């Protein structure tokens, strides 16, 4: 099984060892909706610190791509929360809108991902036009609930670009598609 890695600076997020269990033995799958269980390993590495997450209770990989697409295309300036609306004299203003999505189960047992989007409008007194920017933040981690685990691991990333978010979506999409392909190959071999 191949590994699929998303790199960001001195950190990485790797998906590997994907396995699937069907609703009914011998059925082929075209999407993750055709599968009852989807297990995989995630490795978070930040500098020398490594955390291996065994995703067994609530697999979320196949939701990540949809969540990234949703956060990028969310009309945050019209439907998000207005976090800041600052005005000062003579001609300065700053507005910040916010929206977040979480990909997790209710208890954040296996792995959770929070995507945040900030849209800024700033106009300084010496500028002619309003400057508009968008920034993203990601929080990825695990909060184990079993008695053998003694630590949580969370990776908080500021200043993620839309391109890097789309790159993560592609990594997850390729990992999921490859796992489905390998599952189907195994089913076809059993039938023969």
Residue-wise pLDDT tens digits, 91-113: 888 999 999 998 876 555 677 88
**Mean pLDDT over residues 141-163, rounded?**
77
**What H or E segment, with its residue span, contains residue 37?**
strand 35-46
pLDDT at 148: 56
Instruction: Give the chain's mean pLDDT.
Output: 85
Residue-level pLDDT at 150: 60
Q: What confidence tier does 142 reach under pLDDT thresholds 50, 70, 90?
A: confident
Query: Strand 49-55 and strand 35-46: pairing?
Result: antiparallel
Confidence of residue 33 (pLDDT cuts 50, 70, 90): confident
Bridge partner residues of 54 (DSSP): 41
61-73 vs 162-191: helix crossing angle, rounded to 10: 150
pLDDT(192) > 70: no
Instruction: Look at residue 70 in the predicted model and tell me its pLDDT.
Output: 94
pLDDT tens-digit readout, 52-87: 776 765 667 778 889 999 999 999 999 999 999 998
pLDDT at 78: 92
The pTM (predicted TM-score) of the whole model is: 0.84
Q: What is the CA radius of gyration of the chain?
A: 20
- Name the burial class of residue 38, with classes exposed (0-12), middle (13-18) and buried (19+) by CB atoms within 10 angstroms of its CB: buried
């Amino acid at each position: 099984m191949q590994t699929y890695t998303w790199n960001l600076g001195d950190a990485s997020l790797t998906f590997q060892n994907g396995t699937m269990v069907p609703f009914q033995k011998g059925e082929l799958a075209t999407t993750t909706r055709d599968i009852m269980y989807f297990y995989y390993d995630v490795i978070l590495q930040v500098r020398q610190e490594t955390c291996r997450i065994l995703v067994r209770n609530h697999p979320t990989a196949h939701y990540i791509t949809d969540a990234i697409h949703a956060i990028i295309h969310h009309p945050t300036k019209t439907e998000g929360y207005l976090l800041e609306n600052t005005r000062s004299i003579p001609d300065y203003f700053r507005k910040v809108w916010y929206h977040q999505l979480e990909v997790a189960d209710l208890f954040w047992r296996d792995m959770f991902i929070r995507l945040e989007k900030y849209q800024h409008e700033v106009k300084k007194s010496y500028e002619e036009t309003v400057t508009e920017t968008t920034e993203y933040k990601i929080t990825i981690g695990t909060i184990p609930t079993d008695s053998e685990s003694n630590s949580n691991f969370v990776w908080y990333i500021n200043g993620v670009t839309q391109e890097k978010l789309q790159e993560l979506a592609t990594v997850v999409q390729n990992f999921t598609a490859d796992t489905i392909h390998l599952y189907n190959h195994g089913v076809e071999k059993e039938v023969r």
